[in-house]
Homo-oligomer: A and B are copies of this chain.
């Protein structure tokens, strides 16, 4: 059983308890591009994101695998920053020498996104509403343009161009990372040979768009949010803590969530005294989230919510038209007990691709972590991923 504190750390910091000792030592690098034009038609004067790489780029520069990260994650997908780091990157179980994504063979690049949820975490490098707007010398706030998953992809494309990479052996991502992986395949179809979508979707449905809106509402309702203008005052920590707790819960499953929570075997006196008093489970989760909230940025989370809400692969008149562009081989790996992005979403993508005459592969990840089985139980699909990459 994962201990409570491990789960919280893992969720907040995107750290996964390593199942194997890792030898991989990594460093965060920075990439800057100028006058970046967004899908929404705005220009961001300077965009800087972080990235990491594992393995060696070959002379032909054709052994590259790109890893794209999930909503609350960042580019630290594998390895450790120093030998004494308590935890390696989130997919260390499948990325490394001799592992499913074999760094003896592939040059694995992992990239931060725009508007990362936790810009105040060490090692996160991102550009978003909390960044300084060079024209005003102050944080952008809501002047930052709305960005889409395609914008995340386009920044990554600029990064790869700067490295002279024009072919991707695969793009692989979990959850929001899966959205980026599929979008890569539709935006740059001649560049992407394989796409692995873990716990993902090819388009948002009304259910998920509305669920994501519930992540935004506690922030928007918190008076400290102040329409996004809080950088000179108090950040909306109470709203943020509610949002982070909701994300944590929806990314889990009752089995693992209850195992990690304090139990309530009888009537709790404090809860009976006033509706304002916490209960053991709510105190545990919301207090933990409040501690992590200082590392997050409320506007960044609102922008991430919107990027996900707008997602439809390919940006055409409908999903089928968007997916028609995709040339890559595809592998879909939803988590069987996922309550956040349920397997029907991957199944819909698979059905649409098949109707288009393509041959998507599909398998389900078993486990008790729900959506998080895409991280915690990914090693159960290591052989399948290795096989797919070798095809």
Of residues 240 through 296 on chain A, the ones whose CB sits less than 8 Å from some CB of chain B are 242, 245-246, 249, 254, 257-258, 261-268, 271-276, 279-282, 285-286
Chain B residues lying within 8 Å of A207, measured Cβ to Cβ, are 249, 254, 257-258, 261
Central interface residue in A209, A245, A273, A276, by most chain B CB within 10 Å: A209
* Closest-CB distance, A204 to chain B (whole angstroms): 7
Q: A213-B286, A286-B213, A318-B265 are in contact. Are A206 and B281 (CB under 8 A)?
A: yes
- The reply to whether A206 and B264 contact each other, CB–CB distance below 8 Å, is yes
Looking at the complex, which one of B245, B273, B344 makes contact with A40 (CB distance below 8 Å)? B273
Interface assignment of A210: CB less than 8 Å from any CB of chain B: yes
Interface assignment of A196: CB less than 8 Å from any CB of chain B: no
User: What interface size band does chain A fall in?
Assistant: 35 or more
A137 and B142 alpha carbons, distance in the complex (Å): 46
A174-189 vs B, Cβ < 8 Å mask (1 yes, 0 no) = 0000000000000000
- The reply to whether B271 and A146 contact each other, CB–CB distance below 8 Å, is yes
Central interface residue in A222, A246, A249, A267, by most chain B CB within 10 Å: A267
A316 and B142 alpha carbons, distance in the complex (Å): 52
- The reply to whether B312 and A265 contact each other, CB–CB distance below 8 Å, is yes
Interface assignment of A39: CB less than 8 Å from any CB of chain B: yes
Chain B residues lying within 8 Å of A216, measured Cβ to Cβ, are 275
Interface assignment of A385: CB less than 8 Å from any CB of chain B: no
Interface assignment of A154: CB less than 8 Å from any CB of chain B: no
Of residues 319 through 355 on chain A, the ones whose CB sits less than 8 Å from some CB of chain B are 319, 339, 342, 344
* Closest-CB distance, A114 to chain B (whole angstroms): 13
Of residues 79 through 122 on chain A, the ones whose CB sits less than 8 Å from some CB of chain B are none
Chain B residues lying within 8 Å of A319, measured Cβ to Cβ, are 265
Q: A40-B272, A217-B242 are in contact. Are A206 and B258 (CB under 8 A)?
A: yes
Among A14-22, A48-56, A62-70, A301-309, the stretch that binds chain B is A301-309
A184-218 vs B, Cβ < 8 Å mask (1 yes, 0 no) = 00000000000000000000111101110110111
Closest Cβ neighbor of A146 among chain B residues? B272
Chain B residues lying within 8 Å of A213, measured Cβ to Cβ, are 245, 279, 282, 286
A306 and B242 alpha carbons, distance in the complex (Å): 17
Interface assignment of A315: CB less than 8 Å from any CB of chain B: yes
Chain B residues lying within 8 Å of A204, measured Cβ to Cβ, are 264
- 14 of the cross-chain contacts (CB-CB < 8 Å) are A40-B272, A40-B273, A146-B274, A148-B267, A205-B254, A206-B262, A207-B254, A209-B264, A209-B281, A254-B344, A265-B317, A265-B318, A266-B312, A271-B309
Q: A207-B258, A210-B282 are in contact. List 6 more A-B contacts (CB 8 A).
A: A40-B272, A207-B261, A209-B281, A213-B286, A218-B242, A275-B306
Q: 6 closest pairs, A vs B, by CB?
A: A206-B261, A206-B281, A221-B221, A207-B254, A217-B242, A265-B318
Name A residues whose Cβ lies closer than 8 Å to a Cβ of B: 39-40, 142, 146, 148, 204-207, 209-211, 213-214, 216-218, 221-223, 227, 238-239, 242, 245-246, 249, 254, 257-258, 261-268, 271-276, 279-282, 285-286, 302-303, 305-306, 309-310, 312, 315-319, 339, 342, 344
